[in-house]
A and B are shown apart, each in its own frame.
Chain A
């Protein structure tokens, strides 16, 4: 079956969507990411959508879902690389992806994830010292 690869890199998962996704492929990706977070105890998910030349309400909802599900599973999700034309269209469509962290590129996205990791580590240490 066709699949979008989810790569494990240390504490993070990396996904780069490079194909025009049909709906089932988007659903499978959602399942795969949540399953991998649990299996590896991942702390962050970086989703690169620079290859997508359009995001409609279905794919937009999938992105929102991945962000919410990750958070519930104690991982932070960051969406990077959205094309300007896609951003303009999404807002006009009425989909502003509330609750989804975004960054301009992979590098900045990784920064966000690392900062998030450090912040949660510090909070955990503070709890232990009590």
Chain B
């Protein structure tokens, strides 16, 4: 997988969630995603950025326009050094939340992307990587 452009930012405050959305939109346009796919990616990015702020206590987001096997896509990595997720399988269930949200953030973001990878270690932090390829 080849990275064409990259953008990194700190995600700590609510305003940063909006910035992640804007950068995700720009990257999705650059990768040539359809309007619906752009919207799905931006929405997934918004959910995960909020998780980074609310549950991860802040972290970073890296947005890449990538290319592999002749197709383009957007890859976004969220990393925090928060409390981590004790039970990943449970956290990915629709409606499960330890906060006061709807419990759709993680599971919904997973549905909205082509690829979804979650690594978490209790006490160390969480990394989520999503990719949406141009159809």
- Asked if A93 and B101 make an inter-chain contact with CB atoms under 8 angstroms apart, the answer reads no
CB contact list, B1-36 vs A, under 8 A? 14-15, 17-18, 21-22, 25, 35-36
Question: Could you say which of B18, B21, B36, B94 contacts A94, with CB atoms under 8 Å apart?
Answer: B94
Name the interface size band of chain B.
Answer: 20 to 34
- Asked if A57 and B104 make an inter-chain contact with CB atoms under 8 angstroms apart, the answer reads yes
With the chains together, A22 CA to B11 CA distance in Å? 13
Using Cβ atoms and an 8 Å threshold, which residues of chain B touch A95?
Answer: 102, 104, 108
Tell me the dominant secondary structure on chain B's binding face: helix
Which residue, of B25, B39, B105, B108, has the highest number of chain A Cβ atoms within 10 A?
B39
- Chain B residue nearest to A88 in the complex (CB): B36
**Known interface pairs A93-B112, A94-B108; A53-B15 also in contact (CB < 8 Å):** no
Using Cβ atoms and an 8 Å threshold, which residues of chain A touch B124?
Answer: none
**Known interface pairs A20-B18, A93-B108; A58-B101 also in contact (CB < 8 Å):** yes
- Asked if A23 and B17 make an inter-chain contact with CB atoms under 8 angstroms apart, the answer reads yes
- Chain B residue nearest to A56 in the complex (CB): B46
For residue A85, give the distance in angstroms from its CB to the closest CB of chain B: 4
Using Cβ atoms and an 8 Å threshold, which residues of chain B touch A88?
Answer: 36, 39-40
**Known interface pairs A89-B112, A93-B108, A93-B112; A20-B40 also in contact (CB < 8 Å):** no
CB contact list, B40-60 vs A, under 8 A? 40, 42-43, 46-47, 50
With the chains together, A54 CA to B22 CA distance in Å? 11
- Asked if B14 and A22 make an inter-chain contact with CB atoms under 8 angstroms apart, the answer reads yes
- Chain B residue nearest to A86 in the complex (CB): B39
- Asked if A22 and B43 make an inter-chain contact with CB atoms under 8 angstroms apart, the answer reads no
- Asked if B22 and A94 make an inter-chain contact with CB atoms under 8 angstroms apart, the answer reads no
For residue A4, give the distance in angstroms from its CB to the closest CB of chain B: 14
Which residue, of B21, B25, B36, has the highest number of chain A Cβ atoms within 10 A?
B36
Using Cβ atoms and an 8 Å threshold, which residues of chain B touch A57?
Answer: 47, 101-102, 104-105, 108
Q: Which residues of A are in contact with B by a Cβ distance under 8 Å?
A: 20-24, 53-58, 60-61, 83-86, 88-89, 92-95
Name 14 A/B residue pairs within 8 A (Cβ), A-sorted. A20-B18, A21-B18, A22-B14, A23-B14, A23-B17, A23-B50, A57-B104, A83-B39, A84-B36, A85-B38, A85-B39, A89-B39, A93-B43, A93-B112
- With A53-B39, A93-B43 known, 12 other A-B pairs at CB within 8 A are A21-B18, A53-B25, A53-B42, A54-B21, A54-B46, A57-B105, A58-B101, A61-B102, A88-B39, A93-B108, A93-B112, A94-B111
